[in-house]
Amino acid sequence: MNPLELQIGYKFQDPILLAEALTHPSISSGHESFPFANQRLEFLGDSVLQLVVTERLFALFPNSSEGQLTKLRAGIVSRDNLKNHAAAISLGRYLMIGHGEDINGGRTRASTLADAFEALVGAVYLDGGLEHSRRFILQQIQSDFEKLLQDSKKSNPKGELQEVLQSISQTIPEYILLSQGGPEHRKHFQCSVIWKRRELGRGTGHSKKMAEVAAANAALVNRAWETPLTPAS
């Protein structure tokens, strides 16, 4: 295995595919008869990458809308993000690139690295099939999914609270509407979150859902489940 294959944990059956993935179009300016460049593999790899990322996001975020999933996917497959993943495996150092492009910083350019990463995905797909390309992609971008999951917990206090409480007991929290009022165009609601007959927090909002989220936030701040109940005298 060559150093890049060792780096990515994949041995090519057809080394020509790897060579093609690493060949920048600028190489043809100095080698008119050069047989290939990585643009076609980049085109293929882009589609494979989109499929694998979409598939994983669909599984990880079952309650997210199409628009939300589209936004998450756009961040993962963005040029800057792919450039970072290409840099993480030192992909630029392995590129066959024209002299002029090289001296002008082509090996570290975001577009060059992102395109090469997609071409590498395409090459793995043609060489080993979808399962190998899926394994390669998920191995490289696992940190992206982990960050999204962490961020989703921060923006989903009800889910975070339920996860914390269910690590203690199978009893789930219950949200109680305490009051509602105000004119139709500006209603306000107050909710309480109850767990094991104990109020953990209260919150208000312009909708019942917003009040429940505020109550969950208050509960996460108060962490009342950690304080023992005082026995009645």
Q: What structural domains and CATH numbers belong to the chain?
A: 3-154 (1.10.1520.10), 157-226 (3.30.160.20)
Q: Which of 20, 42, 115, 118 is catalytic?
A: 118
More confident of the two residues 35 and 219: 219
Mean pLDDT (the chain, rounded):
89
pLDDT score of 13: 97
Q: Is 118 assigned a catalytic role? A: yes
219 and 159 in contact (C-beta within 8 Å)?
no
Instruction: Read off the pLDDT of residues 168-186 as tens digits, 9 standing for 90 and up.
Output: 999 999 999 999 988 776 6
Catalytic residue among 20, 42, 46, 212: 46
Give the range among 59-73, 78-92, 132-146, 163-177 with minimum mean pLDDT: 59-73
> pLDDT by residue (tens digit) across 89-125?
999 999 998 888 888 888 889 999 999 999 999 999 9
pLDDT of residue 233: 44
DSSP SS3 for 176: strand
pLDDT digits (tens, 9 = 90+) for 116-154: 999 999 999 999 999 999 999 999 998 898 888 777 766
Which residues, listed in sequence order, are joined to residue 188 by a DSSP beta bridge? 181
127 catalytic residue (yes or no): no
